[in-house]
Every structure is written in C-alpha cells, then in structure tokens.
Amino acid sequence: MRIYQLDAFTDHLFSGNPAAVVPLTEWLPDEQMQRIAAENNLAETAFYVKTEGEANYHIRWFTPTLEVDLCGHATLATGYVVFFLEQKPETDHIYFSSRSGPLKVCRSEDGWLTLDFPIDVVHKANLQPPALLASLNEKPLAVYKGKTDYMLIYESQAQIAALEPDFREMSTVPARGVIVTAPGDANSGIDFVSRFFGPQSGIDEDPVTGSAHTTLVPYWSEQLGKTDLTALQLSKRGGYLRCKLNEARVDISGQVQLYLTGEIL
C-alpha cells in the first residue's frame, strides 16, 4: 500500500501544512484507516478511491483521533498525487465526492492547484462558550460561528501573531476548532491573516487550514469589497493562499511539494 507525504500551500519543503495521502483500490475498514492516521500523526491523512470516469474519485480525511467532514490542505495534496504521481489524467480538473459534497480540484500551467469548495455561512455569536474567550490572552473585536468553527476577529496582524492560547481550556469549546483573523499589514500585499487552533480535533495549531478559508473568504470579501484575496496563515511553518469568492463557492489556490514516498507493510 503506497503512501505519500506532501507539504501543501507552500513553494518549498519544510513549510506549509504536511499531509499524508494513501491511494486505495477499495476502502479499508474505518478502524484501520484511523490507525494509519494515528500512526502518521499528521494533522490529516487522506484516503481516496478511484470511481467511474476519468476524473472521478471519492475522498475521506482522518486526523490522528477522528474522521472529519472536510480538509483543504489534504485535498490539495491528494490532487497533486492524482495529477502527477498516480493516475495522471490528461484533464486539468478532477472531482472528489466527500462527506461535504462534491469537490473540484483544478491544475494550472504554473503548477498551482485550486480547490473549489462551498462557502461556510456564519452568524454573529452573541452567546459564546465561556471557555472560548478564557482560552485566549486577548479579547477579539467580534465572534462569529460557522458550521464547524468559531471565527474571532482582531484588529491587527501583530495581535494574531502574539496569541498564546490555553489549549486545555480551548479543548472544551464545542466546535471543530477556532479561527482567529485580522487584516494583513498595510502595503504587505496580504489581504488577511489567520491562525487555526483545533485541540478538540487532536491538533493544537494547524499549520495551514484550507477549509477554514471557506469561512474566512466570504467574511473578508465583504469587509474589503473585493472577491480576489491573498491570505497568509501565521503558524510557525506558515502558508500562502490565493482565494477567490464565486457566489456560493470559494476557490482556494496553493502549491504542493512532495516530501516522501513510502509503503505501508
């Protein structure tokens, strides 16, 4: 059984978000896929199976502790595996069926891959779990709640970089994770910055979170009055994304670097 490890949303190794990808001809038992993900001990391991048609696949994602509904960086990494390492289709787009519905991945001539994901609809969270604000060392300007995550708005990029969460406290917040975000620094070429904390899902801080941008992009598009956005995730590894709001969908583009190939015995 082949396995790949790749760094997503980066133009060089040892940055971006690492993900494992396991191509399958048929699904393994859920328990076995969960054990493989736990052994990899990465934010996500993606498993995929080829289905009918040249460009059709089914994808699932596992953290070290549970299966999740959506994962952007592992989908980007899986797209790279399909396009350049495994099936190598002639088409410039492929489709994945998933627990979050159909997902499209496109490749461009410059080597960038683009995810086509549904937007996340958020609402202002007037009532917040006490642990949410107690877990952070600085109070946000506003708090929103999406389908799976809380999103906290701050004033500056420096505030986002300086946050030091209490992950034990945050792990009691009833959500997949917590997004913190602010505008990018003036004249930096970055529209907004973010970090993603997910102790509830077994990952204290995710290096680059593609799925969180389904929440971030609609918000910042409205705030900034533009549909094409550049984003920087301020984790230690860091990651750069190009995003575009297309009505009820979000295009999330990034680069992928292959780190290793191996075999599960």
Give me the active site residues, please.
44
Question: Got the DSSP string for the chain?
Answer: -EEEEEEES-SSTTSSEEEEEEEESSPPPHHHHHHHHHHHTSS-EEEEEE-SSTTEEEEEEE-SS-EES--HHHHHHHHHIIIIISS--SSSEEEEE-TT--EEEEE-TTS-EEEEEEPPP-EE-SS--HHHHHTSSS--SEEEE-SSEEEEE-S-HHHHHH----HHHHTTSSSSEEEEEEEPPTTSS-SEEEEEEEGGGTEEEES--TTTHHHHHHHHHHHHT-SEEEEEE-SSS-EEEEEEEETTEEEEEE-EEEEEEEE--
